[in-house]
């Protein structure tokens, strides 16, 4: 869902992404058991993959078996900062399944709100199960597919944006290589395969830009049900943490409403010790 990666032990690299020339992220943190022998060995091999295989490589890139972070979400209306959210993030992989836990600690009016995402790549026909805990109700409720278009704690990210990457939901067409901030990226057009995908996300199609070296989606345009450009997400900063390329700053702009969300990821650790019992909907709402 929210982090992304690759490796190189020599030095710590910080890359600031500008805007795509005449073009233009989706990358909420998102890997499990693709064997090393199956993974693309280099940038040229990544670039030669079919669009479907490229998206699979992005999904399954190596980022450890667990990860945690502190996330700040800034909610903007035009040039005015409206509000700020503080989110604790914890995630673990087991085989081809993934559990993700989020706990909102600030501000007070939403503190204690928690989310649990449960994904199983072996059940490709199944969407993520998302459980939402609201302190006022004192219980967790599973989100129906139609409710995944809801805005995550008032941000421009919807719940469906936070799911583990699902390449099988879209049909892909490669538009070839383009340069973005002096980096070669691959442009893909993705069209929703079924009405159920449109119902869940509200996106009829997406245009994505994939950096084959970092194995990252560095920008995404989202189009609504009428085919109009709705949102644009862009990576603004990538850092190498524990030899893993990690998105530490990104933004989502709603081009129809003028609202935007800026995401800052800090205190990131990979391969952390995880208590399995935390990933239980009965535990939602408890600070960890």
What confidence category does residue 11 fall into, taking pLDDT thresholds of 50, 70 and 90? very low
Question: How far apart are alpha carbons 250 and 73 in whole angstroms?
Answer: 10
Question: How far apart are alpha carbons 108 and 272 in whole angstroms?
Answer: 28
Q: Parallel, antiparallel, or unpaired: how do β-strands 216-223 and 205-211 relate?
A: antiparallel
Q: Could you tell me which residue, 26 or 288, shows the higher pLDDT? A: 288
Tokens in use for 238? 């990538």
Q: Is the pTM of this model over 0.85?
A: no
Q: With contact defined as beta carbons under 8 Å apart, do 233 and 25 qualify?
A: yes
Give the residue from 99, 37, 28 showing the smallest Cα distance to 66: 99
What confidence category does residue 213 fall into, taking pLDDT thresholds of 50, 70 and 90? confident
pLDDT digits (tens, 9 = 90+) for 107-152: 999 999 999 999 886 555 567 899 999 999 888 999 888 889 999 9
H or E element in which residue 201 lies: helix 195-201
Question: How far apart are alpha carbons 7 and 27 in whole angstroms?
Answer: 18
* Mean pLDDT computed over every residue of the chain: 83
The residue behind tokens 């194995």 is 215
Question: How far apart are alpha carbons 56 and 50 in whole angstroms?
Answer: 10
Q: With contact defined as beta carbons under 8 Å apart, do 210 and 216 qualify?
A: yes
Tell me the fold of 14-283: outer membrane lipoprotein receptor (LolB), chain A (2.50.20)
110's CB contacts (< 8 A; 6+ apart) are 85, 104, 153, 154
| Phi, psi (rounded to 5 degrees) for 93 | -110, 140
Distances (CA, A) of 85 to 75, 78, 107, 109, 163: 8, 18, 6, 10, 19
């Amino acid at each position: 869902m929210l982090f992304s990666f690759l490796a190189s032990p020599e030095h710590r690299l910080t890359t600031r992404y500008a805007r795509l020339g005449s073009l233009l992220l989706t990358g909420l943190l998102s890997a499990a058991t693709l064997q090393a022998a199956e993974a693309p060995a280099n940038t040229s091999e990544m670039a030669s993959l079919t669009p479907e295989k490229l998206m699979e490589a992005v999904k399954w890139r190596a980022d450890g078996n667990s990860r945690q972070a502190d996330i700040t979400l800034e909610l903007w209306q035009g040039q005015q900062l409206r509000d700020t959210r503080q989110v604790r993030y914890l995630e673990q992989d087991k085989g081809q399944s993934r559990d993700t836990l989020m706990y909102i600690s600030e501000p007070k009016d939403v503190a204690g709100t928690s989310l649990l995402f449960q994904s199983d790549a072996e059940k490709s026909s199944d969407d993520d199960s998302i459980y939402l805990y609201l302190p006022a109700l004192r219980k967790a409720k599973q989100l129906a597919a139609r409710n995944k278009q809801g805005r995550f704690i008032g941000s421009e990210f919807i719940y469906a944006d936070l799911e583990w990457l699902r390449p099988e939901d879209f049909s892909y067409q490669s538009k070839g290589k383009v340069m973005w901030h002096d980096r070669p990226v691959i442009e893909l057009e993705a069209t929703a395969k079924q009405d159920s995908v449109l119902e869940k996300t509200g996106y009829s199609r997406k245009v994505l830009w994939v950096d084959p070296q970092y194995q990252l989606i560095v920008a995404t345009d989202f189009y609504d049900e009428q085919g109009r450009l709705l949102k644009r997400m862009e990576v603004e900063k990538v850092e190498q943490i524990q030899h893993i390329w990690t998105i530490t700053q990104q933004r989502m702009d709603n081009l129809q409403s003028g609202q935007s969300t800026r995401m800052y990821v800090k205190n990131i650790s990979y391969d952390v010790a995880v208590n399995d019992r935390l990933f239980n909907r009965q535990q939602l709402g408890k600070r960890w």
